[in-house]
Amino acid sequence: MWSLFPFFQQYPRHLFLDLNAFYTSVEQQECPQYRGKPTIVVPMLADTTCAIASSYEAKKLGIKTGMAVKLAKMVTPALQVVEARPELYLAYHRRLVDALNDFFASVKVLSVDEMACRVPYALYKTEQDESRLARLVKERLARDLGEHLTASVGIAPNVFLSKVAAETKKPDGLTIWNDGNLPGALFEVRLRDLPGIGPAMQRRLREAGIETVEGLWEAEPLTLRRIWGSVLGERWWHMLRGSHECDYQPAQASAVRKSVGHSNVLAPEHRTREGATRVLMELFAKALKRLRAYGQAASAVQVTVRFRRGRGMSVAGLPFTTEGVWVRRSRKHLHANDDTTWLKTLRPILEAIPDLSPTAEPCYVGIVFSELLAVQDLNLSLFDEEDDQRRLAKVLDAMNRKFGAGAVTIGVHGERQVPLRIPFGVPDTPPGQSGYEQDAGI
């Protein structure tokens, strides 16, 4: 029956590589004492934070990403808690991309541990050839990165299907989908496991009578457009059939941005009014840099500070804390995305942050720019000063790209207090894109 569909015979095909439990695997590669033991990586060594990554040994015990450290420690006394080392993970990431460039003409980085590569059809024409290519890639990663870093690989007609295929066998799996087993192999996947199908979308599909991936496949394009409420539904119809034009994009790349911001759980040494202010200034500079990279400007900003208040004892005899939240939002003004303009608005807000010591301490800060507008839609300025400020911001961004993030800032002095964090994308990935292309020059 499915031989009637030519969708899966098109070329080029794609190889999707997903590093397994990347952060914890790097730590186990670097530190033999963590190998074979349940391990989690945390942003800071404090029971009040949560796991940002967990090893497969930890996952088998039910310790997953997002679990509070305090609860994770209660699961097993053998738990290894490791403070994140983003610079190290990025170094491994770059070595991975360099290795892949020896096999593929282009490597599209979708996140720090996910890459999509176009398979060179002239060299790998059959399923056996593709299987050999995947083995060669895995052997190269074991040599260049270490034997404790494994990857799940999926090979399929487009990036979306290859990503789904890679997810079906973890860890260290290999799944090849082609016109010989598609779409049947796709129907074995749960609807909720498709990237982009969250709880809300699953509920909307269920209300439309779609409970399985096979049901999603059989739906008409116009039906999917109605369910999604946009042309995105029709794109899904084509994407499921291996389309290159309508293919996978990470959620943060395709979403319409209504706000841009950063937040930080304060390290113990920064839990003072001065420390919170200093961290907010750094988050302010980072958020504006992203705003400029997205080609947007904002007309409002909001600052949030959470305070940890009086300590006491619960009924069970366990310590507890209560939290208070301080929020201040600016008035709307003309759209801007340069540091100089926004500093005039931010400084009065920072000066208004209350000092509640010694009865309470700030434990979390966040800053969000909203009321966004695309730069090309802004009215032309009548004042040379505003144009100068925009040009200055571009120069600063260029210098930071060349000499490292935070090398040059406005209003921030001294060493960086906010630790490097790796988001869903990669810090040196051009924001607003699904990833960046690394060309091998072939």
Residue spans per domain, the chain: 7-177, 190-255, 259-408
What is the CATH number that goes with domain 7-177?
A: 3.30.70.270
Which residue in 177, 172, 168 sits closest to 130, CA to CA? 177
Q: Render pLDDT for 13-26 as a digit per residue (tens, 0 to 9).
A: 999 999 999 999 99
Give the pLDDT confidence score for residue 409 in this predicted structure.
54
* DSSP three-state, residue 105: coil
Whether residue 206 is predicted with pLDDT greater than 90 in this model: the reply is yes
The per-residue pLDDT for range 81-133, each reduced to its tens digit, is: 999 999 999 999 999 999 999 999 889 999 999 999 999 988 899 999 999 99
Sign of torsion over alpha carbons 152, 80, 263, 97: negative
Q: What is the pLDDT of residue 383?
A: 42
Which of 44-53, 205-214, 242-251, 254-263 shows the lowest mean pLDDT across its residues?
254-263
Question: In the predicted model, what is the mean pLDDT of the chain?
Answer: 84
Report the percent of the chain where pLDDT is more than 90: 65
Q: Write out pLDDT tens, residues 381-391.
A: 434 444 555 55
Segment holding 322, helix H or strand E? strand 319-329
Paired strand residues for 53 = 41
Q: Looking at residue 390, what is its pLDDT?
A: 53
Q: Of residues 240 and 9, which shows the higher confidence score? A: 240
Residues 6+ apart with CB under 8 A from 421: 43, 86
CA nearest to 154, candidates 123, 190, 121, 114: 114
- Give me the DSSP letters along 166-222: HHTSTTT-EEE--TTTTTHHHHTS-GGGSTT--HHHHHHHHHTT--SHHHHHHS-HH
| In CATH, 259-408 is 3.30.70.120 | no
Q: Return the number of other C-beta atoms located less than 10 Å from residue 388's C-beta.
A: 13
* 3-state class (DSSP) for residue 292: helix
pLDDT tens digits along 139-178? 999 999 999 999 999 999 999 999 999 999 999 999 999 9
Between 228-237, 258-267, 398-407, the lowest mean confidence (pLDDT) is in 398-407
Res 424 pLDDT > 80: no
Per-residue pLDDT, averaged over 402-418, amounts to 52
Predicted local distance difference test score (pLDDT) of residue 419: 58
Helix, strand, coil % in the chain, rounded to nearest 5: 40, 20, 40
* Interatomic CA distance for residues 401 and 114, integer angstroms: 23
Which has the minimum average pLDDT: 214-228, 296-310, 405-419? 405-419
Q: Which two tokens stand for residue 212?
A: 């399985």
- As given in the structure block, the two tokens for residue 55 are 């090893």
As a whole number of angstroms, the distance between CA 215 and CA 209 comes to 8
pLDDT for residue 10: 64
- Provide the pLDDT confidence category of residue 280 given band limits of 50, 70 and 90: very high
The answer to whether residues 80 and 30 touch, using CB atoms and an 8 Å cutoff, is no
Instruction: Determine the residue type at 306.
Output: R
User: Residue 394: which residues within 8 A CB-CB, separation 6 or more?
Assistant: 292
**Taking the CA atoms of the chain, what radius of gyration do you get in angstroms?**
24
> Considering only CA atoms, which of 298, 346, 348, 355 is closest in space to residue 326?
355
pLDDT confidence tier of residue 401, bands split at 50, 70 and 90 = low
Residues with Cβ < 8 Å from 315, sequence gap 6 or more? none
- Say yes or no to pLDDT of 315 above 80: no
